[in-house]
Structure 1
Amino acid sequence: MPSFAQNFAVRGYVRDANNGEVLIGATVSVPQLGLGTSTNEEGVFTISLPEGEYALKASYIGYTSFSRDIRVTDGAQRINFTLDPVDTELKEVRVEAGGLRQKLNDTRMSVESLSSREAKLLPALFGEVDLVKTLQLKPGVQSGGEGTSGLYVRGGGPDQNLVLVDDALIYNPSHLFGFFSVFNPDAVKSVDLYKGGFPAQYGGRLSSVMDVKLNEGNNEKLTATGGLGLIASRLTLDGPIIKDKLTFTVSGRRTYVDIFTRQINRLSEGNADYDPIPDYHFYDLNGKLTYKAGKNDELSLSGYFGRDIFGFNDDKFKFNFDWGNTMGNLRWRHRFNNSLYATTSFYTSGYQYRINNAIDVFSAKLTSAVKDYTLKTDFDLFVKGGHSVKFGAMATRHHFIIGRLNFESDDSTQAFSTGTNLAGTEFGVYASDDYQVNAQLSLNYGLRLSGFSNNGKTYTALEPRIAAKYNLSESTSLKASYASMKQYVHLVSNSGASLPTDIWYPSTRGVEPQRSQQVAAGINKLFGRGRYLFTNEVYYKWMTNQLDFRDGANLFVNDNLQDEFLFGKGKSYGNEIYLEKVKGKTTGWLGYTLSWTYRKFDSENDLDDINEGRWFPTRYDRRHDISLVVLHQFNKRLSLTGTFVFGTGNAYSIPVARFIFQDVEGEDPSVIPIYQDRNSFRLAPYHRLDLSVVYKLKPKRGESDLTFSVYNVYNRRNPYFVYFEQVKDADRVETLGFQAKQVALFPLVPAITYNFKFR
């Protein structure tokens, strides 16, 4: 076993040979020593080696591997790699299993990595590729229901996910009431989802971190990438403005169902029996400029703007509803020397929704918003002896508009306004060390000091993090982690889903921050000559200060909303099993999750208890969750992809009995439902099969394909929700009982999409 006290650092970057973009998460290894590492978000790697001669190998999923013979001597060395994408004209896709070995050797655990190239191969609803839906096919990650893009990670809610786009926060990562995510796959380079073992640089949320990296732009030539789908089209342009100096990328996407529905409404004008179709569409724009100011400096300016617009207008009633995110980020990367790097960012990020109503002579406007201004800096320091140190700080100024309602008549004789404006400052300071102790053992440990100040009240917390990896052999490793997290802003909702009308609310004197602690342990096994990776992880997470509403709470018109909150605790635990294959004509993965998720709300005032203060399963508690993904390459032009999912039905509450209450004699009686335990019933199990066929075309320049997909192949009517309908007698007078009715959203949905990339 080599002594790391006498080791020397070898550093460099890994880039795409075609466009010069850095490859995040590429594996750099020395097979003869059984050592390896991966590139960071700048595409930079560092590995500590003893003096001697070695073959240094770089590999990345979807690229051909490359090895270089090096001689390690006294002092730091710099070795750079450029990798070629796998030739799409090969008879089969031969991808080196470097990605699997990277997962085996990575100190991090509970991390799912995804590239847009992989996501585009999978079948999708209406043919719209969605990175978040692809992540839902990984163990430990659940959707909120049929078609939705919300994430419920290891028992956490949708507000407990930290979503970062080029290090800038996005509050609501969904379009179409949660059915699609805001991420245009052509604009995204990679996505890392942390389910546990969070590195110390991340904070502010309890359950997961979704780190999205945007493309930087092709520094070699102008390219155009896009697609024409069933409900939306997208286009991305990128290329050099000043070769090897200044690059750009700009992406746009828009749905166009509203164009057809408006025409249908026009043609049906004058038909008294026709109910107009509401108007709906969404769009989003991504842009990024990257400027290499010199050998050691790089500036980038990235932005996002997206809106969902829903409206219904006729002579008597007008309803217009729009919501969306805005983000702008200026980032400076500086290399002091081969051992010290710094990244400094200033960004602004916000989310808002607006509802405009008009009935006869009255109009109402309801607005809620959050706006952030953030300054952060991160340093990467490589130290002799196998240490990679990361430290930094951040500060965010939050501004909140809480449910502002304005109501007035057309002549302004009747008017009132209500709502609350709040503000707060969040900060964090952290340091961590990724330490390669020896060829078998590596550690990542760190500490984060976080805090939040609002109206004279300040909360602070220490958040320790540690992860360890031990190699039992070249093909087997053990991993374990512990992480403590704090959350100072909260998404308050009177529904189980992440709807656009939900409100972000800060910690105050009466609303303490949420906290979670999670421990996890697992085993990783590489077998079949590196073709297969098996992982098995168990976890336990416990949470405090979880938020819910009192029964009958007023969410929208309330100047003191926090009086409606209830505070409780939660716990979640489970086992995640994962088998992945990334080499050969047939690739894919199989995931299985066995899990339990509970909440408990008991207070000094028994009237405020939920479920009489006893533990109850959350709506998204799902005992069994199975996902199977298979990709098969028939030849150089034709491939087939299939996904199958199965999950225990969501928990929900239904009345077990009803009684009749006669308030006023002669009036219809009121029917009062009687409930037992919270969420004590289950919807029917959810299962679905999707298929997709990709046929590559032969354009004169670039590449293109036709993708034929079928969502819900065997037309399973999966339940979205259940309601109860009164059963009347023959004369429609007396109520005989109540019958449960199930609502399903999507039957079999075929789609065709034309994708292209011209250069």
Structure 2
Amino acid sequence: MKKILIILLCFCSYSLLAQQRVIHGNVLDAKTGESVVGAYIFGEKSAAGSISNAYGFYSITFPADEAVFCCSMLGYELFKDTLPQTSNGTVTIRLNPIDYKLQDVVIYAPYQNHAGFHHLSASQIKRLPTMGGEPDLMKTLQFLPGVMSGNDGANNLSVRGGSQWQNLVLLDEAVVYNPNHSLSFFSVFNSDAVKQVDLYKAYIPLAYGGRLSSVMDIHMNEGNNKQLGIKGGVGLLASRLMVEGPIVKEKISFMVSGRYGYPGEVANFLSNIETIGNDIQQLNGADIGFYDINAKVNAILNNKNRLFISFYNSKDRFKSAAFIDDYLMNWGNTTGTLRWNSTFNDKLNVNTTFCMSNYFYDYTQLADGQNYKWKSDMQSYALRNDWDYYFSNRVRIKSGINIEYFTTKPGEIDKATESSNILPYVMESRQSLETVIYSELQLTMNPLWRIIGGIRLAGNYSYANTLLKEKLYLNPEPRFELQFVPDKTTTYSLSGIVTTQNMHLLSNSSIGIPSDIWVPANEKLKPSSAYQISAGYKKQLSNNQYTFSAEGYYKNMQNIVDYKDNANIFMNNKIEEQLEKGWADSYGIEFYLSKNHGPLTGWVSYTLSKATNHIKTVNNGKGYAPVYDRPHDLKLFGTYQISSKWWASSTLTLRSGMNVTMPISHYVYQGSAFYEYTERNGYRAPMFRQLDIAFTYRPEIKNRWQSEWVFGVMNVLNRKNVFSMYAGRDRLLLGKSGAYKMYLHGIMPSISYNFKF
């Protein structure tokens, strides 16, 4: 009898499997041929669902009686097609973009987003008013909850109480070590070359690691494989041009973009205008400029294999007496990515990537007869292999391995001129090798519950040199997210993650200047680690016209480092001995409300938070607030379509001021002034307030030529927001002292012209 039951059970199981069929393929933009990430594929009758992955691949299992399947993605028309007659099949889904002026068709796509996840498209990035009318990815991210600037007006992002150096910034999977142009005033990402950016700050998928606070995964455009296209723009502070098109139509495409920035020339021109510039020192004589280049080739080898080659290069020069006397700074990034994406079978997608990153920075000091040049650089080389297996509609497994080699030369000093008395000196280089394996399970238990989780094991080996012994660290990183969906409009989430960071940036500034030093974990410097728990609520309102979310978090970070008081940091070969270790924690609650459709769209976000650092020998062992601790952060963004040709957009920011260390008194000794300071970061600057507006005019399209004029006004209220505060002696009267504040600009109009054909 038992044997009969077993045979019947096996037969029934086989019959059920036989009644199902698997459809797989890629989701593409019908107009450009580029991959569409995050599209929702489902059956019209059964509502079985799947999501296209980071490379546009999908796999979905349908019941035998399912006849029609669909694909939905915001910004595209709803796709419908008849399923193939065969049991299994390959279907390439081509989605047609829709005109946002038409009424949107919204399809419910369950479980599409992680908690604390935000997706921004290139069009969203370009909608925000920005300095000089230049679209800026990093500035756009600042308007999301839990994300703020370390220095007001700058691009150095702090996410949930972490420093800007604790954010992993990836461009086509390659690390970008310094994502800023012009001392953090602009980002290094040309908006024309960017396809999308994904920000993770609560649950971080296990494929990512190496930083404590967040992941910013930026994807370049893949290039139009249908037709040649050109787009660009001329603005007050920068000009840009991008060319894309097919090399072999619908098979191989390319994209090349370039941007050149000239803010120094504009600053010199505007330095004598009272409302622009600075009330301490004029910007006249500034030499500030940058360029960046993006290039990509995308080849469809066959139905199962695609090859991508990406390249990025940027360089900055910066000289301004308003910031640092007699300094000339240079820095730049170079990244390269070679990626092979392969569909092994109807359920398995494999991605193999080799990428490299190079970052250099130097400065020349000519003040006080010193005449020296200081420089440093670093390189990393990584090989990744990631497997994405769609076991069924309810079970998906992601696994992979990553090997990365890192080397850095912390500092080298040499003569800037022949008359210099500087003795050339080179600090000892540091190298490390990191090997990572991970596995992540996505399990939909039933229509109400879903769990995602797994473990990432990172091993970091630091090589020995004449100062340090070799050292191996093993860091397990378990992570999970639990989602409860009681109905189609409501989601509750709970997540817990562990992250580690094997790189330490030793900095005595909050904006990032070339005296900063990157050092990997070694015998005397342990990796940092973070433990974060988050709980969230998300609700779709009024037939998806509005989205509301609230999320609370607590994060604890161990083995963070800071300089000791009075540390000797310049060209110190034993720099690890000048550091003190400690811990930090942060907590807060984030609110977000967006209007998704109609003539008026936008969002408002508010974050209430607290961040505290604890370093044993700093501030007498008491906890102190880092520069980027901002208890209150309110941000509003809105876009309104006035007519078929005119759009208006505006942003408003109200934020607690940054923390600085300032004197509480001073005394004069032998004709010179000396200061007594507060505790570390014991003074909070005045509140940051800024209102920006922009108007966009788009004429009729003529012979594929699309253009627009953007008229903007930054800081409409002419608020003198603090960028930096410091105390100093008078250059001529050493006994005279004072406290000063620096602000970037008052009211600033701009005009830019953008085109596309």
State TM-score, norm by structure 1.
Answer: 0.89
**Alignment match, 1:533:** 547
The SS at the match of 2:135 is coil
Which residue among 189, 196, 208 is the counterpart of 2:195?
Answer: 189
3-state SS of 1:617 partner? coil
The 10-residue stretch of structure 1 (616-625 or 491-500) with the greater mean CA deviation from structure 2? 491-500
Looking at structure 2, the residues matched to 752 and 53 of structure 1 have their Cα atoms a distance apart, in angstroms, of 54
Aligned partner (choices 716, 721, 725) of residue 718 of structure 1: 721
Amino acid at match of 1:87: D
2:708 aligned residue: 705
Summarize deviations over 1:652-706 as a string: whole Å, max 9, x none: 232223344x4xxxx315423142x332321111111111111112233231111
- 1:176 maps to a residue whose letter is S
Q: 1:683 to 1:582 in 2, by over 3 A?
A: same
Q: Which residue of 2 aligns with 1:237?
A: 243
Q: Is residue 94 from structure 1 mapped to residue 113 from structure 2 by the alignment?
A: no
Q: Identify the match of residue 517 of structure 2 among 489, 503, 508.
A: 503
Structure-2 change in CA distance of 1:590 and 1:462 (3 Å): same
- One-letter code of the match for 1:187? A
SS in 1 for 2:576: helix
Q: 2:96 aligns with which of 77, 84, 101?
A: 84
1:516 counterpart = 2:515: no
- CA deviation profile, 1:582-626 (whole Å, cap 9, x unmatched): 111111111111111111012xxxxxx112112222111111111
2:373 counterpart of 1:365: yes
Which residues in structure 2 correspond to 1:267-666 (within 5 Å)? 277-311=285-319, 320-358=328-366, 363-384=371-392, 386-407=394-415, 410=418, 415-454=423-462, 455=464, 456-602=470-616, 609-660=617-668, 662=669
AA of the residue aligned to 2:723: Y
Q: Please give the alpha-carbon distance, in whole angstroms, between the structure 1 residues aligned to 2:721 and 2:268.
A: 30
- Return the alpha-carbon distance in structure 1 between the equivalents of residues 72 and 78 of structure 2: 4
Q: Name the counterpart of 2:740.
A: 741
Paired residue secondary structure (2:226): coil
2:278 alignment counterpart: none
Distance 1:348 1:434 in 2: 30
Offset, 1:22: 1.1
Distance 1:557 1:419 in 2: 7
- The percent of aligned pairs where both chains have the same amino acid is 34
Tell me, yes or no, if the aligned pair for 1:514 and 1:544 is still in contact at 8 Å. Answer: yes
Q: Structure 2 CA distance, aligned partners of 1:22 and 1:156?
A: 33
Quote the RMSD (CA, aligned, Å). 2.9
After superposition, the C-alpha distances for 1:415-470 in whole angstroms (9 at most, x for unaligned) are 33242211111121111111222212122111101011112210011101111211
The separation in 2 between residues aligned to 1:20 and 1:685, in whole angstroms, is 47
Aligned to 2:274: none
Structure 2 counterpart of 1:130? 136
- Structure 1 residues 515, 733: CA separation in 2 closer, same or farther (over 3 Å shift)? closer
Equivalent residue, structure 2, for 1:756: 755
Aligned partners of 2:261 and 2:289 also within 8 Å: yes
2:58, 2:418 → 1: CA distance?
64
Q: CA deviation at 1:383?
A: 0.8
Q: Tell me how far apart the structure 2 counterparts of residues 726 and 502 of structure 1 sit (CA, whole Å).
A: 26
CA gap 1:572/1:186 in 2 versus in 1, 3 angstroms = same
**1:414 and 1:493 mapped to 2: Cα distance?**
24
Whether the 8 Å CA contact 2:48–2:393 is kept in 1: the answer is: no
Question: After the TM superposition, which residues 61-80 of structure 1 pair with which residues of structure 2 at under 5 Å, given as runs?
Answer: 61-68=74-81, 70=83, 76-80=88-92
Rate the CA distance shift 1:657–1:260 in 2: closer, same or farther, 3 A: closer
CA–CA distance in 2 between the matches of 1:311 and 1:674? 29
Post-superposition offset of 1:287: 0.4
Alpha-carbon separation, structure 2, partners of 1:174 and 1:397: 24
**Matched residue of 2:536: which SS?**
strand
* Equivalent residue in structure 2 for 1:253, among 243, 255, 259: 259
Q: Taking structure 1 as reference, are residues 51 and 687 closer, same or farther at Cα in structure 2, changes over 3 Å only?
A: farther
User: Residue type matched to 2:497 in 1?
Assistant: A
Change (3 A) 1:241 1:732: closer
Cα distance, 1:523 vs. partner? 1.0
Distance 1:436 1:48, change over 3 A: farther
- Between the two proteins, the alignment pairs up a number of residues equal to 723
Query: 8 Å contact 1:354–1:368 — kept in the other structure?
Result: yes
CA apart distance, 1:144: 1.5
Per the TM alignment, residue 69 of structure 1 is displaced from its structure 2 partner at its CA by 5.3
Deviation at 1:405, TM superposition (A): 1.2
Match of 1:170 in 2: 176
Q: Secondary structure at the match of 2:399?
A: strand
* Change over 3 Å in CA distance of 1:228–1:568 after alignment to 2: same
Q: Is the 8 A contact 1:362 1:409 kept in 2?
A: no
Change (3 A) 1:138 1:700: same
Change (3 A) 1:124 1:257: closer
Distance 2:283 2:540 in 1: 59
Q: CA deviation at 1:360?
A: 9.8
Amino acid at match of 2:99: D
Please name the residue that 2:683 is paired with.
681
Report the AA paired with residue 399 of structure 2.
F
- 1:234·1:252 contact (CA, 8 Å) conserved in 2? yes
Change (3 A) 1:55 1:478: farther
For 2:131 and 2:192, how far apart are their aligned partners in 1?
A: 17
Task: For 1:683, give the aligned amino acid.
Answer: A
Q: Structure 1 residues 681, 359: CA separation in 2 closer, same or farther (over 3 Å shift)?
A: closer
One-letter code of the match for 2:625? P
Runs of 4+ with deviation above 6 angstroms: 3-7, 260-265, 359-362, 411-414, 725-728, 731-734
Question: What SS is found at the alignment partner of 1:217?
Answer: coil
Query: So what's the TM-score if we normalise by structure 2?
Result: 0.90
Partners of 1:78 and 1:245 lie apart in 2 by 18
Which secondary structure state, in structure 2, belongs to the residue aligned with residue 53 of structure 1?
A: coil
Change (3 A) 1:434 1:657: same
Map Cα deviations across residues 636-657 of structure 1 (whole Å, 9 max, x no partner).
2111111111111112232223
For 1:329 and 1:208, how far apart are their aligned partners in 2? 22
Instruction: Please tell me whether the aligned partners of residues 303 and 328 of structure 1 are also in contact (alpha carbons under 8 angstroms).
Output: yes
* Counterpart for residue 7 of structure 2: none
Q: Which residue does 1:14 correspond to in 2? A: 27
Residue 98 of structure 2 aligns with an amino acid whose one-letter code is V
What one-letter code is carried by the residue in structure 2 that aligns with 1:556? F
Q: 1:362, 1:410 within 8 Å by CA — same for their partners in 2?
A: no
Trace 1:150-169 onto structure 2 (pairs within 5 A): 150-169=156-175
Look up the SS of the partner of 1:118 in the other structure.
helix
Q: CA deviation at 1:411?
A: 7.1
Partner-residue secondary structure (3-state), 1:499: coil
CA offset digits 1:191-217 (Å, max 9, x no partner): 001012111110100000000011111
Q: Is the 8 A contact 1:60 1:96 kept in 2?
A: no
**Distance apart, 1:312 and its partner CA:** 7.9
Gaps of 5+ in 2: 1-12, 272-281, 465-469
